[in-house]
Homo-oligomer: A and B are copies of this chain.
Amino acid sequence: MSSEQVLIGGKWREANAESTFHACDPARGETLPEAFPVSQWADCDEALDTAVAAFETLRGMPREAIARFLELYADRLEAASPEICQVAHRETALPVETRLAAGEMPRTCGQLRQAAEACRTASWTHPVIDTATNIRSCLAAIGPVAVFGPNNFPLAFGSISGGDFAAAIAAGNPVIAKANSMHPATTRLLAREAQLAADEAGLPSGTVQMIYRLKHEDGERLARDPRLAAIGYTGARSAGLKLKAAADSVGKPIYLELSSVNPTVILPGALSERAEAIADEFTGSCLMGTGQFCTNPGLVILCRGPQSDAFMEMVAGKFEAAPVGTLFSGSGQDGLAAAVETLAGAGAEVVCGGQAGGGNGFSYGNSLLKVNGDAFLADPETFQTEAFGNASLMVVVESVDQAVEVAGQLEGNLTGCLYTDTQGSDDEAYGRIAPVLRQRVGRLLNDKMPTGVAVSAAMNHGGPFPATGHPGFTAVGMPGAITRFAMLHCYDNVRPERLPSLLQDGNPDQVWRLVDGQWTQDDLKVELATS
């Protein structure tokens, strides 16, 4: 069976495949010609062996080599950007200029360079030295990591180019990337550049590996395999939960990003003050990228009253006036339709949209739904069904009390927003709703829509389950994201020359270390009591 080659053990080679699959051009709804292999277990098996060997070598290499790889890779991506963005456009229908070339590619390269910097400065390692006991510890690479990337960011969250990849590599781990089946050709190009950069940086074969697709049972077997140390997964909840169950069964860290409706509370004072501006912001945020963002504002909480009615009407007008974008796939279109049906079936009213079509290829009308607070509270689970795409549900509550109650029923989400006026009339409501929302989201915003996730050291692109699998970690932002792919290494009475350089008395690289409770970049000057 002739199909594209996989990258295993530093070589492009034929896959062990029983079947193939094809990607699709979503703007035309047409199957693309290249055949990609569905790998059999033999490919995973070899990739795992190679990753284990690569890890042994990587552990002995200077941080600089890994940092250099990340930078060379970013340089290569920039050079190959026109080709990559063209292919990505074909597979995703995301616009080349406004999104891929000018947005996602610079973000991707910036992220790789931030990871390189974090690697070089060891800023993610959190070294701790206790001179009284001569115990020292730091975070260290965990071992081979598998990364499963989502459909919605072929570059910035790509399995061999995105945040999880950069983080896992920066920590010193080899990565086995599983391409998203919707953009295999894009992933192939990214993997090509990654491998060339890895060779140039002198990293061991198998530091970066890529396969296109696996049978579900092989994915779960991979998750359970003792050679694999950790997993990063961004994508649909159902598949993610299966991988999580497999990883959990063997006590393996798995970092997930699954789903989020990103509740946005718009309080009455804010609507009085600037309804039109907020409607514009909301429309832009909700329809951007045809709404296919993890942080898409999919659930809006409004207080009942003429202002809210007018606001919804205004938004509906803007939704109807806006072009209908293309969705990534037929299954995406079907999924969006099914979610809207679920919401409507539970009693939500379709204010606008609610029908397939209207754009190029796979598409679905820009959709606004509404439901009152009582109905939401009667079935909060159903009304939190994620409608992934250009759709949002407005929940119209009776009172601030009911807004608090609705907030209290929210599942874990990536973000939560509150819009308030500038004169203080919403402050009391804010004070009651914000604490409840706070515990249910990773990132709390004021007067700002949730889309646009800055790659910042202070970012939390995370949140309680089911938004992610652990509320203590972020998937975006260096150095924080790197700590996911790490284990804590403690050294007790270990002879000085055997300590990792980060924990030795001298600190020539001026790494930030926590010495006896004080952060410092200095050498260790205290006379040790022991050893």
Contact = CB atoms under 8 A, between A and B. Distances in A.
Interface of A: 56, 59, 123, 128-130, 132-133, 135-137, 139, 142-143, 244-245, 248, 250-253, 412, 415, 430, 434-435, 438-439, 442-448, 454, 456-460, 462, 464-466, 468-474, 480, 483-484, 486-495, 498, 512, 514, 516-519
A444 B492 contact: yes
A253 B135 contact: no
Contacts of A137: 458-460, 474
B458 A136 contact: yes
B128 A490 contact: no
B133 A464 contact: no
Contact of A442 (B253, B490, B494): B490
Nearest to A135: B458
Q: How many copies does the complex hold?
A: 2
Contacts of A415: 492
Kindly name the residue among A252, A253, A456, A491 whose own CB sees the greatest number of chain B CB atoms within 10 A.
A456
Contacts of A491: 443-445
Contact of A473 (B123, B129, B435, B488): B488
A116 to B, nearest CB: 14
Contact of A128 (B250, B457, B486, B498): B457
A435 B135 contact: no
23 contacts: A56-B435, A123-B517, A128-B458, A130-B454, A133-B458, A137-B460, A142-B471, A245-B248, A251-B465, A434-B498, A442-B489, A443-B491, A443-B492, A444-B490, A446-B493, A446-B495, A457-B514, A457-B517, A459-B490, A472-B483, A472-B484, A472-B488, A512-B519
B488 A460 contact: yes
B483 A133 contact: no
Contact of A493 (B445, B465, B488, B494): B445
A438 B493 contact: no
Nearest to A462: B488
A217 to B, nearest CB: 20
